[in-house]
Amino acid sequence: MTRHSAQTLEAGPGKAARNGAHVLSSSSPAGNEAVAPPPEAIRPALDRAARLAQELNLSHLRPQIEAARRLLAAPDQIDVAVFGRFKAGKSSFLNCLVGRDVLPIGAAPLTAVVTRLRHGPVERAVVRRLDGTSVEIPIDEIRAYVAEAENPGNKKGAAFVDVELPALRPLAPLQFVDTPGLDSAFAHNTEATRAWLPNVGAALLAVSADAPLSEQDLALLEELRRHTPRIVLILTKIDLLTEAQRAEVLAFVSDQLAKRLGDPAPVFPYSVRPGFEGYRQDLLDRFLLPLVKNRARAGSDIARHKVDSLLQALLDYVRVAVAAAEQAESAREALRRRLEEERNRLEALSEELCVMSYRWAGQALERSLERLRPDQRALQEKIVRELRAQFPKWRMRAPQFVRAYGRWLRERLVEELGALSDRRREVFCEPLGKSRDYLARVVEAFQDRLARSVKEALGVEMGRREFVPQLREPQAPPVDVSTEFMIPMELAGHLIPMTLFRKAIEKNLLRRARYEVEKNLSRLAADWRARIRPAMEELNRQALEYAQSELEAIQRMASQQKSALPQLQETVAELEALRLDLRPSAATKGDERTGFRDAG
């Protein structure tokens, strides 16, 4: 399978699609496309957007601004990011594309770190660490950094893993980005993907044919359209369906995209299995290879789209100011009162979040221990079984016997509990995910209330800005095993004849070993709780700062007087003119929303 995939990639365009490949949005006629504005024509608009965002203290727009700057600096260096839910087939798709299994695949959530693949003259992989350092590793060791099981919670501190492969030469200089699944049980995986969104150049959304198009997929498509016009949907695992089922699923996907998005993204059925080469070639011929060919124009178009989204976000705020300045003082005062009520709610919410964090952290110990009961029983049985095999090897007097038992038990518990701490990290970190989801709902409800207040008072619609907390899960606590109970036994051991009491001592020590497993597992859970609490407080801080920033920006806009109206109208006109200058010509408007013009 992988050998044929590599041959297909090398074959290049021109090969007719087979197996009935189906695309929901047709490409524009050849030669009927306008050239996107060059980078030098886009930079002034971006610079103006950046200055205005700083003046309005809209810090949440900073990642979008920086992403646009990076793309304008090298418009032909396009990141093609692959998004999707857990088990959607993202890593399998990329492995098929390069013709070998470079990225780990499996039944459990695997991708824990964003991985970037691009062409290089020789195979190499470089781990970029969060502390700014980097280390080159063999390709076969990538799994040790990007797989959740071997790098739980990204405890190795990897920011990215960059992989260079000669097999990607036909798609150079595109860089493919494998992102963690958005519905992973691990909070840090989802946050890594969310944090990457502003950087996306072109986007491939992988959706499994046996579970097509969830609400989460549709929400992600809407979010992606803020960042790029180049989006396609890959319907993976199409080999699981019959021809009739494929037609049914494609019709369902088409209908859902049309209802939700209006002008939907193109859909490419896909399978990595033998016999489905036509589907794979169709994606190459109609999207990836044209993207390579027209990469400079496509990069400028993506940068134009990012800047246009920024200008639209800024217009939302400035139009609030214009509407406020045009209103009578009584209307402005009514809105100010409603915003002041929201400020009071925020103060009350701050206290509520502190209480909530304290309660969830308090419940975390009991909940984690309950979920770890099977692990505890399994570890107790394992330690007892190994001890029974170990006892005959200790032919010594009681004090030495007890000391040997203590050393052995401590070493084994440190090893086993350390492995359990890594393996079951999601259990200990569950309160973080719960807190993150709760805060996202709180901020969303807060934004909806603000937008409703503005709409009712000023008649201005405001779009919602997504709150993406920067979550860094804590490092696992060091495992510290206590065996203080050994001291009395060691002191009195010389009085105990082993020949008479050996079986009784062994029975007592086996019972004690079970207790030590339970006791030290409880200590480990308590140590995790102590580390989770500050992380939850950090999430609270980010949510409150975000909401406070939104509120203050709208309050500033709503406080504008009539005397400021000419300047505000001038700013609106300026932003609208900048957007107009960035707008593609009429020849390409029909494809602007999907960005699918044979990827050019």
Q: Over pLDDT 70: what percentage of the chain?
A: 81
Helix/strand/coil for 164:
strand
* Mean pLDDT, residues 559-567 taken together: 86
Place 1 in a pLDDT band, splitting at 50, 70 and 90: very low
In this structure, which amino acid lies at residue 567?
A: Q
Structure confidence at residue 106 (pLDDT): 58
134-137 and 124-129 as β-strands: parallel, antiparallel, unpaired?
A: antiparallel
Least confident piece of the model among 19-23, 329-333, 368-372: 19-23
How distant, in Å, are the alpha carbons of 25, 209, 288 from that of 284?
16, 20, 5
Instruction: Mark 131-145 as b/e (b = at least 16 C-beta within 10 Å).
Output: eeeeeebeeeebbbb
Phi and psi at 449, nearest 5°, equal -65, -40
pLDDT in tens, 488-521: 555 455 555 556 778 888 888 899 899 989 988 9
Q: Look at 352 and 140; give whichever has higher pLDDT.
A: 140
Of the two residues 272 and 473, the one the predictor is more confident about is: 272
Nearest to 328, CA basis, from 39, 9, 51, 562 = 562
Q: Is 20 or 415 the better-scoring residue by pLDDT?
A: 415
- The whole-model pTM stands at 0.68
pLDDT digits (tens, 9 = 90+) for 13-67: 333 343 434 433 333 323 344 566 788 889 999 999 999 988 887 877 888 899 8
Round to whole Å and give the CA distance between 570 and 562.
14
- How much is the pLDDT for 11? 39
Residue 23: what pLDDT? Answer: 38
- Going by pLDDT thresholds of 50, 70 and 90, the confidence category of residue 153 is low
Predicted confidence band at 181 (pLDDT cuts at 50, 70, 90)?
A: low
Domain ranges of the chain: 2-24+78-293, 333-558
pLDDT tens per residue, range 235-247: 999 999 999 999 9
pLDDT at residue 307 tops 90: yes
Which residue do the tokens 């029909």 mark?
590
Which among 598, 44, 22 has a CA at the least distance from the CA of 311?
44
Q: Please report, for residues 21, 98, 271, 278, the alpha-carbon distance to residue 275 in angstroms, rounded to integers and kept in the order given.
A: 13, 18, 9, 8
The CATH number corresponding to 2-24+78-293 among 3.30.420.40, 1.20.140.10, 2.60.40.2230, 3.40.50.300 equals: 3.40.50.300
Average pLDDT over residues 383-391: 93
pLDDT, residue 432, reads 80
Report the C-alpha gap between 504 and 267 in whole angstroms: 71
CA 112 to chain centre: 9
